[in-house]
Structure 1
Amino acid sequence: MNNSENSIKVVQDYFKAFQNGDIDNVLNLFHDNCLIVSVKDQEREKEQLHGTYRTKEEATQFIANIINLFNTKEFVVERVVGNENVVFANGKFTHEVKATGKLFVSDWTQLSIIEDNKIKEYRFYEDSAAFVIASEA
């Protein structure tokens, strides 16, 4: 398996673990010194989903925020492509916002940089305006 194929497999394993509810394996796929940017690269409150997370410990908070905010109705991975250690993925999802019961529907794009067979850098982009609307009571 070449470097590109290996990097793609790490990201595919991440999606598979998440879809199977295997949160321990999801977290295991993050590098100890990872960087996660959810929509915007800025500081955030602990329970706030969008913003910057650093380290595997904060990756745990990132996953907890997703689980605490949403009931996922559909999560589709349309493609995963990579070159060396850089992997792009995209798709669409439908989440029910737990606090409001409203649906949050969005296309998404993810950039991952793989190091030591782990996700070292993770950037996830979605329709944040749709999230705000679905979160309003």
Structure 2
Amino acid sequence: MAMVAPDARFISTNAVPNAANPLHGTFVGVEGAKQFFGGFAELPEPGDFHVTASFGTAMHAALYRTPRHKVRRAGKDFVSDWALVCEVEDGRTGLYHFYEDTEAFANAMT
């Protein structure tokens, strides 16, 4: 957590909170990062996670892949293209925002 800027924002696919998905919302700072990453323990059972490629500059980074996870609640596989965009502020994470197929995730939760 030492690499998290005090005003860092952590966002999954939706910046608006959603009671059905603990990863939705905008989480701020170190405490927000703890809450954000803690949400991963509730929903996906990690599966194949290999970054296909990444690129960036001194202040920005992007990564992408096509992972396969299992949704814990329903026991169904979840496969989706995924991308992560990060901003770096003074050597710390300032933004961590990922994008994936929310329809595929919703289908896997039912």
Common fold by TM > 0.5: yes
Output one character per residue of 1:67-102: Cα deviation in whole Å (capped at 9) or x when no partner.
221111111111111123011111121111111110
Structure 1 vs Structure 2 CA RMSD: 1.7
> 1:39 and 1:28 mapped to 2: Cα distance?
25
**Aligned counterpart in structure 1 of residue 38 of structure 2, from 57, 64, 71:** 64
Q: Which runs of 4+ in 1 moved over 6 A?
A: none
**Residue 85 in structure 1 maps to residue 59 in structure 2:** yes
Distance (whole Å) between structure 1 residues aligned to residue 13 and residue 30 of structure 2: 18
* Pairing 1:32–2:6 present: yes
| Unmatched tracts of structure 1, length 5 or more | 1-26
**Alignment pair present for 1:115 and 2:99:** no
Higher helix proportion (structure 1 or 2): 1
Distance 1:60 1:46 in 2: 19
How far apart, in 1, do the equivalents of 2:65 and 2:26 lie? 22
Alignment length (residue pairs): 110
CA distance in 2, matches of 1:134, 1:100: 7
Structure 1 CA distance for aligned equivalents of residues 92 and 75 of structure 2: 34
The answer to whether residue 63 in structure 2 is matched with residue 51 in structure 1 is no
CA contact (8 A) 1:38 1:124 kept: yes
State percent identity of aligned pairs. 29
Please give the per-residue CA displacement for 1:11-52, whole angstroms capped at 9, x wherever unaligned.
xxxxxxxxxxxxxxxx44322321112112223449621221
Partner of 1:21: none
Moved more, 46-55 or 73-82: 46-55
Residue in 2 that maps onto 1:132: 106
1:106 paired to 2:80 = yes
Q: Which consecutive residues of structure 2, in runs of 5 or more, have no partner in the other structure?
A: none
